[in-house]
Amino acid sequence: MNHSATAFKAREQLKNFLGELSPRFSKPLGKFVGDMVYGIQASQDVKLSRIARALDEPISMKKLEDRLRRMLGSEGIEQGIPGAVARLGSRHVHQDTLIVIDPTDIRKLYAKKMEHLARVRDGSTGETGNGYSACLAVACESGGRRITPLHMRLWSSGAEGFTSQNDEVLGVIDQISSRAKKRGIYVIDRGGDGDWLFDGLDRRKLDYIVRLVGNRNLLHGRRTALAEELAASCPMKHIEIVTRETGDGVKSYKLEFGAMTVALPQRPDKPLRMVVVKGFGERPVLLLTTLAGTTSRKSLWQVVEGCLTRWRVEDAIRFVKQSYNLEDVRVLTYRRLKNMVALLLAVIYFNCVWLAGRLRCEILTTNITHAAKRIYGVAEFLHYAVADGLGRLFTRHGKWNGYKPPDPESNPLGLVFLE
Q: What is the predicted pLDDT for the residue at 143?
A: 78
**Residue 56 region by backbone torsions, left for phi larger than 0, else alpha for psi between -120 and 50, else beta:** left
Bridge partners (DSSP) of residue 132 are: 106
d(CA 272, CA 284): 18
Domain boundaries 80-214+224-316, corresponding CATH code: 3.90.350.10
Buried b (16+ CB within 10 A) or exposed e, 388-408: bbbbbbbbebeebeebebbee
Neighbours of 232 (CB within 10 A): 10
Q: Of 330, 312, 268, whose CA–CA distance to 51 is shortest? A: 330
Distances (CA, A) of 107 to 104, 116, 132, 133: 10, 13, 6, 8
pTM attached to this predicted model:
0.89
d(CA 76, CA 136): 20
d(CA 346, CA 84): 9
Residue numbers in the chain where pLDDT is lower than 70: 1, 123-126, 190-191, 245-249, 312, 357-360, 372-381, 406-419
pLDDT tens sequence across 64-80: 999 999 999 999 999 99
d(CA 310, CA 143): 9
Q: What is the predicted pLDDT for the residue at 146?
A: 82
Neighbours of 255 (CB within 10 A): 18
pLDDT tens sequence across 218-261: 999 889 999 999 999 999 999 998 877 666 667 788 999 999 99
Q: What is the predicted pLDDT for the residue at 389?
A: 87
Q: What is the predicted pLDDT for the residue at 375?
A: 46
Structural domain boundaries of the chain? Answer: 1-73+385-419, 80-214+224-316
**Residue 377 region by backbone torsions, left for phi larger than 0, else alpha for psi between -120 and 50, else beta:** left
